[in-house]
Amino acid sequence: MPQKPGPTTGLPHLIAATGYSLAGLGRLWREASFRQEVFAGGAGLLILLISGAAIQSVAIFVMLLMALLAVEAMNTAIEVIVDHLSPEWSEFGKQAKDIGSAAVLLMIGVNTIWFLVALTEVWFAGKFQII
């Protein structure tokens, strides 16, 4: 069994934490839902940029997309833990996964609403043009 690494501080801690985060992103990339959210968010960002949306609206969209991806990361972590603790089907496992999924769905709703608000602002400002 591998030994747990000891605690670090300062620059070594920052380097180790960055490595852990990059490993987490690599693990997330294997999730189809994460990739779909990245691509959909990228498409939404491109549409906002091409349509001439205000920089503040674009910045808020990017922050909301990052929040969505963070919630997706937490949902994936919940699923990994549940699958480890309860390899067979269980009611608690189903509920935990369903609640995590609901959190992701709510964030998708928030992102969608903001995207539509930003496009509406462009539309009413008269800058919206179909290419």
> In the chain, what are the domain boundaries?
32-124
Q: Measured between alpha carbons, how far is 50 from 101 in angstroms, rounded to an integer?
A: 31
pLDDT in tens, 53-81: 999 999 999 999 999 999 999 999 999 99
Cα-flanking dihedrals φ and ψ of residue 125, to 5°?
A: -80, -5
H helix runs in 52-130, sequence order:
55-85, 91-124
pTM higher than 0.75: yes
> Is the per-residue pLDDT at 3 higher than 90?
no
pLDDT of residue 22: 97
| Domain 32-124 bears CATH identifier 1.10.287.3610 | yes
Instruction: Give the length of the chain.
Output: 131
Which residues does the annotation mark as catalytic? 72
